[in-house]
Amino acid sequence: MKFLPYESQDFDEVLALLQSAFDDDRQSHNFEALGRLSDTSHYKRFVIKENKVVKAYLAYCTRTIRYLGISFTAASIGPVAVSPNAQGKGVGKHLMTSVMAHLSASEIEFVYIQGIPNYYQSFGFRKYIDKIKRIIPTSDVTPDSATVSIDNACKEPAVFKELFDSYANTVNFSADRSLEEWQWLLDHASKSYYFFEPKVIRDQSGLALGYFCEDPYISDSPREVIFRNDKESIASALSALKKYYADKGCDTFDLKIPDNTVVANLVDSEDCERVVHDNPHGGDLLLIFDELGAAEKLAPTLHHLLSGVESQFEAQVALQNFTIHFGVQAGGTFATVEEITGPSPVNFVDFIAGRICDESCADIETTPAAEYAKVQEMLFGKLPKFVFQGDNM
């Protein structure tokens, strides 16, 4: 078996593989939209070949993400597909092992994937998020929806970037997309499943209030929804979305949005059903190649955010399943992370995802249970963990 870069002559084989490997045609639809494009520095694809026949396929895209204001390089893997006649023969393992070695050598820090947790945990991935889906009724369309329009033709990357950044700067795990990346999405991905036919919501003056991408397979479930991050803009854009889906004959539509945001608070004040989003393709999983390195990058920010905690890291901050020990200079000035201890491999993902100690860990004497609660609130109580309506990033 050979791990090789995807080439344009592989198109027909990969398309047939995707059609046979998945129950629906989402992935083959996406591949048909993007499969004949050349790879870029941000978008790469690989195949496993045996006797010159494609047996497996994988794609990934890279981007810079923000966590507590600190930038990390990340890769989002998907889809991963193995030909049905090659499954159970180690082909998928060879594909994943090869691409993970490739990403590690490429100085990628975080890796995301959607998949079956029990399988991908063997490669070091852990679940990091539970997405909340809000079911929005369209029966209460407000009169001001008539003053807002849907722009189907906008192809200006600066418009999308400005809208996205206004919201993404307030949350964790959000992408820091350049104008060039936005241009690539608009030029090439707008017929793909992941960024299908983006539409801009504008007010009477022409100001862009937000954008959304539809799901070509589910009529009442937009894949990605971003609003300008102020209450008035969100209210107007939300009203326009209600009218849009009401005009399509939908009684409801859903938004997968993080808690503790202006959008979530506004929606929750209305009559909507709130449920955990059940992803039929598996969980949202995360791997961090260098957990100690990530902790060191975050350490100054964490120390600043937690300056109100009485211990101020004089001894340690205890986290679920592991402990970070912080060095302290003379006079109590913060220095750096010294080590992370805990089960092997250390579950730093629990920390990144905000699952730190609760009352069940109160037996650690150096930090009282009340401080755990304070740490939880100070770090994660006000800053949502993710931004995307769509999957992963």
Q: What digits encode the pLDDT tens for the residues 305-355?
A: 655 544 433 334 433 334 444 443 333 333 344 444 444 343 556 555 655
Rounded to an integer, what distance in angstroms lies between the CA atom of residue 202 and that of residue 119? Answer: 44
Confidence (pLDDT) at 154: 95
Confidence (pLDDT) at 368: 41
Confidence (pLDDT) at 349: 65
Q: What is the pTM of this model?
A: 0.79
Which segment of 223-237, 289-303, 348-362 scores lowest on mean pLDDT? 348-362
Confidence (pLDDT) at 129: 66
Residue 83's pLDDT band (boundaries 50, 70, 90)? very high
DSSP 11-36: HHHHHHHHHHHSSSSHHHHHHHHHTT
Please indicate whether residue 373 or residue 118 has the higher confidence score (pLDDT).
118
3-23 residue pLDDT tens: 999 999 999 999 999 999 988
**Residue range 132-276 in CATH 3.30.2000.20:** no
The residues, any chain, with a CB within 8 Å of residue 72's CB and separated by 6 or more, are 64, 65, 66, 109, 110, 294, 297
130-188 residue pLDDT tens: 667 889 998 877 666 667 899 999 999 999 999 998 887 777 778 888 999 999 999 99
DSSP 178-232: -HHHHHHIIIIITTSSTT-S-EEEE-TT--EEEEEE-BTTBTT--SEEEE-SSHH
Intrachain domains 2-108 and 132-276 with the same fold: yes
Cβ neighbours, 10 Å, residue 272 = 16
Rounded to an integer, what distance in angstroms lies between the CA atom of residue 297 and that of residue 337? Answer: 9
Rounded to an integer, what distance in angstroms lies between the CA atom of residue 254 and that of residue 221? Answer: 5
Domains of the chain: which residue ranges?
Answer: 2-108, 132-276, 290-380
Residue 42's pLDDT band (boundaries 50, 70, 90)? confident
Domain made up of 2-108: CATH architecture: 3-Layer(aba) Sandwich (3.40)
